[in-house]
Structures are given as structure tokens and as C-alpha cells.
Amino acid sequence: MDGIGQPEAPYPPDGALPADGALPADGAPPADGEATAPPGKRRRIPWKRLALIGVVLITLGVFSLGVATGWALGSRSAGPSGETVTEVIAAPTDAAGGVPVLPDVRGLLLVDAQQAVVDAGLPVDVVETADAPSALAAGTVLRQDPVGGTTKVSKVTLYVSVPGAVPDLVGQTADDARTALLQLGAEFQQEQVFDPAAAEGTVLALDPAPGSPLTSMITVTVAGPAASIFLADLNPVEGGCSKDDTSINGTDFPNSLLCGASSYESTAAYLVDRVTTSLDMTVGISDDSDTDVSVRMVVLADGRPVASVDVGYGQSREISVPTSNVLRVEIQYSSTGEGSGRLALGNARVTGSPEGISSLDTQ
């Protein structure tokens, strides 16, 4: 058959037509000087050109990475100990075209505060710093002098927080302690306890204790108000004095005990359960008694006499008896005059902590 066993004809030289005069498959003769690839084969890009393209792409990538890294680190440099610190970049002092106004930089970190000052058109060398103990993060601007909004500034002092200690505020008022702690950046938590030896509102203790490292929360124990209850509202364990309104030497006492006095000694007793601190009252003869009556009264604490008083008609005596750690209070009384009348214990009351007073046995 045709073509079988025949050798393949060589590809014609560049620019020559095949012997039979046929054109290439695309129907167009090759351009002058253009090499024509053998049929069935693709043209290949020379390896030198590929290598050149690769080198260019790698160079562009390295350059881009360097630019990005330089931009990210452009405002940072290494400090003396190798740590990274932020530089303050000074702005032109006349950048605003007017008189520079000192900004309020309280609460900013020092480096940010310095940058805010120079951004406002002030030279960085006007800034001075001073340490201020505080519970806030170290390096925070607590206050400034002069204040923000000031113009024509030649110097500004920034008070910067440093670790501090809990101040000794024991004995001060709660309001003064609160002010002092807030100035140190610490929160104030108040607890109240009753202390008969301290005036109400006086600081008794701090937690953490004075001298300890300053923390963000300080618990302040303050002397709280005392509570009291009228003796007439307690259940007596002995005696027959009655609760009533009365007048003593012309003064009304709406919460009083009236005890009928005779020549025989009588006793009225009350349990105070070691939770009270004092017994206070006005002692006299009720104004509706005979004018010639007089009475002697003795107060006993757990059987020990702690106060005594003699009163006549038209007289009154104020007494205050300590009752700390006392279990039982007794009032002994008897008439020393000729007439008959009633011993009046005007507004007699015991005082103690709110918790202790609320635990007493009341009527």
C-alpha cells in the first residue's frame, strides 16, 4: 500500500515549501526568518527567560516585605535594656497655626500623654514628670499641672503612677478616708461595726492593712451607729414597774417606767444578755406624786452596785451606767419621805450593737 515501508520525508528547510507545493496546515506560509516547529510539537520558552522572570518576582517580594516591616516598626526602637519602647515624634510647634492649647492627658500612659502634648503644638521638653503612688497601672498619668485647656504653657508637670502602700487612715472620718483612697486610684468598700469607744463614722480598720502594697480595692471598717431599746419595752424577769408616759420636773418623758415606791425595798430586773454597753435614764419623782415624797434608787449590774441616786419631788437626775458584758440589770428603790408617790425612770434605755439589741427579749 502507498506509504507503507517508505521512509519519512525530511522537513523542508526554513522558508522552503514542501516538494509537492502544499502549504502548512494553517494555510499560511511562515513569515520570513520565523522558525517553523515541526508538526505536532509546541514551541518552548527558553529556560534563561524563565529564570529571569523568577528572579524579578523574588526581588519584588523581598522588597515588599521589607517595606511592610519597616512601616510597622518605624515608630519603635530598642531601649537601653533591649526592651521595645515607643518614641515620641515631635510635631511642628506652629502646626495648628495658632496658640497651642494644653490637652487633658489624665488617664493616658506617659508616652501617649507626651505625644498628645507635642501633637497639640507644644515642644516635648516642656513636659516634666513626678512620681505619684497609685493603685492604677504603673506609668498612668494621674493628674497634671496646669490643667488641660491652658494656653501659653512653658512647663507642664505630669504626675505618673508608681506602686504605693496603703495609707494609715485609722481614726479619720469615713469621708476623709474615701477621698484619700479615690485620689490613689483605689475603690472604697465600707463596712460598719458598732464600737462604743469610737464616734460614729470613724475609721477603725483597713484591709489590706496600712503599709501593705496598695491594691485596687480597699475595705474600710467604720464605726456604725448604735442601737437602743427602752427598758419599758423589755420583758422584766422581776418586779412590777409599768410602762407609761410621765412628767418629771415639768418635762415629758413618753417612754418611761413608773415604780410605786414605799418604805419597803423593791426590785425591778431585766436581762441584757451581755450585748449592751450602757443604761441611760432620767431619774425623778412623777409630777403627779405627793410633794413631800423622796426616793432612793440603786442600780446593780450582775449584783454589783454601779450607781445610786436620791431624788425628791421637783428634782431630776441624769445617770449613765456602763453595762458591757453585763448579764442582768437590777433597779432597787424605796421611799425615804413621808408621802406616797412613784419613782419615774424617764426614757430609760439600754444601748448596744444593732444585732445585740435585736436579740433581747421584748414585750
Q: Are residues 218 and 273 in the same domain?
A: no
Q: Quick one: pLDDT at residue 261?
A: 87
Q: What confidence tens digit (pLDDT) does each residue in 72-128 have? A: 444 443 344 444 344 454 444 444 457 899 999 999 999 999 999 999 999 988 999
Asked if residue 117 belongs to a domain, the reply is yes
Residue 116 lies in a domain: yes
In a domain, 80, yes or no: no
Which segments of the chain have a pLDDT < 70? 1-51, 54-56, 59-97, 339
DSSP symbols for 75-92:
TEEE-TTS-EEEPP-PPP
pLDDT digits (tens, 9 = 90+) for 156-175: 999 999 999 999 999 999 99
What is the predicted pLDDT for the residue at 83?
A: 42
Of 110, 141, 162, the position where a domain reaches its end is 162
Same-domain check for residues 191 and 277 = no
- The amino acid that residue 135 corresponds to is A
Torsion-angle region of 343 (φ positive above 0: left; ψ -120 to 50: alpha; else: beta): beta
Q: Give yes or no: residues 234 and 220 share one domain.
A: no
- Please state whether the predicted TM-score (pTM) of the whole model is above 0.85: no
Query: For residue 181, is it within any domain?
Result: yes
> What was the pLDDT predicted at 31?
47
Structural domains counted in the chain: 3
Q: Is the peptide bond before 133 cis (omega within 30 degrees of 0)?
A: no
Of 162, 182, 205, at which residue does a domain stop? 162
Residues 191 and 281 in one domain: no
pLDDT computed for residue 339 by the predictor: 67
Claim to verify: residue 259 and residue 336 sit in the same structural domain: yes
Full residue range of the structural domain in which residue 289 is found? 228-358
Residues 300 and 275 in one domain: yes
| Nearest-angstrom CA–CA distance, 239 and 222 | 39
Q: Are residue 196 and residue 276 in the same domain, yes or no?
A: no
Together in a domain, 298 and 354: yes
Domain boundary among 136, 162, 188: 162
Is residue 279 domain-resident?
yes
Spatial distance between the Cα atoms of 58 and 54, rounded to a whole number of angstroms: 6
The reply to whether 209 and 294 lie within a common domain is no
Q: Are residues 118 and 197 in the same domain?
A: no
Q: Which three cell numbers stand for residue 164?
A: 504605693
What CATH number did the domain enclosing 151 receive? 3.30.10.20
Are 322 and 246 in a shared domain? yes
Q: Do 219 and 294 reside in the same domain of the chain? A: no
- Report CA Rg, the chain: 50
Residue 126 lies in a domain: yes
Q: Give the integer Cα–Cα distance in Å for 174 and 132.
A: 23
CATH of residue 314's domain is 2.60.120.1060
DSSP class per residue in 169-238: -TTSBHHHHHHHHHHTT-EEEEEEE--TTS-TTBEEEEESPTTSBP-SEEEEEEE---EEEEGGGBPPSB
Please report whether residue 71 resides in a domain.
no
